[in-house]
Amino acid sequence: MKLLMYSASKMGSSSRLRLYQFVDCFEKIGINVTIRNPFPERPWRSNIRNALLQRFHDISGSIVRIISRLFQIADAFRFDAVLMHRDIVPNTKVIFLERLLFKLNRHVIFDYDDLICIGNRKMKFDIMVKNAFMVVAGNDNLASYALKESPNVIVIPTVVDTERYRPAVKINDRLSIGWSGIKETLECYLPIVKDVILHLSERYDFDFVVISDSFLQEKWDGVKMINIPWRLETEIEDLQKIDIGIMPLANNEFEKGKCGGKLLLYGAIGIPSVCSPVGVNKDIVVHGRTGYHALDNAQWIEYLETLIKNKALRENMGRNARRHIEEKYSVNAVMPLYKEILIRAG
């Protein structure tokens, strides 16, 4: 069987967790995989400072991306099935590429793991859902939107390769609380726990580790913040420096569509997490067993303080978290579902 994958970016966490980590598994069961990214890859931003030139540069980049995708779609008919992660290009008004793909191949599997089905993206989303051979949603909340337009919807949660992401023995005893994510989520969600981290820093000695492609511009006085630039080559090693992972979120419809990627990585490397219990976070973190759900600042402080003070509890919850991820949120756990879909498509 020949499978064509359309990815948004080789470096993006969404593409890596939803597509790239499955390539070897697919090929082991006899599926020949071809994976294609647009040029320029997503996300792409012009770094020109002049506003007018930046606008021109951004438009030029979008046009080049559309043209690159047009060439990548041209031979889609040669493949037995296509696995498309999100839309072909992010431009909401550019729909002809998806329409063309559906005409060239009748076995397009549309995969999505974010709330791309509301606002000005809804029309495009509906077209993709109605024409797809199968729709794969990252959680039940996302699936509910697709089910309004098609019965051919299945939920496959975002998972992690637990053979790669593994616990490691720390070489020092210094405690660290950590967060990992991209610039957009850094700016939106990390400030939610600013007062919590400031408060705890006054009482306890720990490092606050931030792994990202960007860093907070505002200084958090009194916090021993360690900024680690995110790099694919060192991602696992950097995550293993953290003792307690956090994932704060706002509680609204958009966040309910998220698939908890951070929590999966924390659990896979064997550390407990404290999170906002929004969407699938409530399922990935089992409250009191693999971590805690924090509804407000008081609970954030209470649960982080509990973990800070009790190393044995951290280690026990970390083992539970690892086991939970292996059983329900690992590549091996969902491979039977993908295999069934691809057999039907092929």
Q: What's the CA gap between 20 and 22, in Å, rounded?
A: 5
Task: Give the per-residue pLDDT at 90.
Answer: 80
Cβ neighbors of 245 (< 8 A, separation 6 or more) are 177, 178, 179, 180, 262, 263, 265, 266, 271, 272, 273, 274, 291
> Phi and psi (nearest 5°) for 110?
-100, 115
Helix, strand, coil shares of the chain as percentages rounded to 5? 45, 15, 35
Task: Give the per-residue pLDDT at 44.
Answer: 64
Q: What's the CA gap between 184 and 181, in Å, rounded?
A: 8
Q: What's the CA gap between 148 and 141, in Å, rounded?
A: 12
Task: Give the per-residue pLDDT at 59.
Answer: 77
Pairing of strands 32-36, 176-180: unpaired
Q: What's the CA gap between 321 and 263, in Å, rounded?
A: 9
Cβ neighbors of 193 (< 8 A, separation 6 or more) are 246, 248, 300
Q: What is the pLDDT along the chain (346 residues), one digit of tens a residue?
A: 999 999 988 888 999 999 999 999 999 999 999 999 998 877 666 677 777 777 777 778 788 999 999 999 999 999 999 999 999 988 778 899 999 999 999 999 999 999 988 888 889 999 999 999 999 999 999 999 999 999 999 999 999 999 999 999 888 889 999 999 998 899 999 999 999 999 999 999 999 999 999 998 888 999 999 999 999 999 999 999 999 999 999 999 989 999 999 999 999 999 999 999 999 999 999 999 999 999 999 999 999 999 999 999 999 999 999 999 999 999 999 999 999 999 999 8
Closest CA to 182 of 8, 46, 11: 11
**Within a 10 A sphere around the Cβ of 197, how many other Cβ atoms?**
22
Task: Give the per-residue pLDDT at 32.
Answer: 97
Beginning with the edge strand found earlier in the chain, give each strand of the sheet holding 224-229 in spatial order. 224-229, 207-212, 176-180, 244-247, 273-275, 291-293
Asked if 339 and 154 touch (Cβ cutoff 8 Å), the reply is no
Structural domains present in the chain: 2-158+331-345 (3.40.50.2000), 176-328 (3.40.50.2000)
Task: Give the per-residue pLDDT at 51.
Answer: 75
Q: What's the CA gap between 258 and 281, in Å, rounded?
A: 9
Model confidence, pTM: 0.94
Q: What's the CA gap between 180 and 238, in Å, rounded?
A: 10
Q: Is the dihedral of CA 339, 341, 342, 346 positive or negative?
A: positive
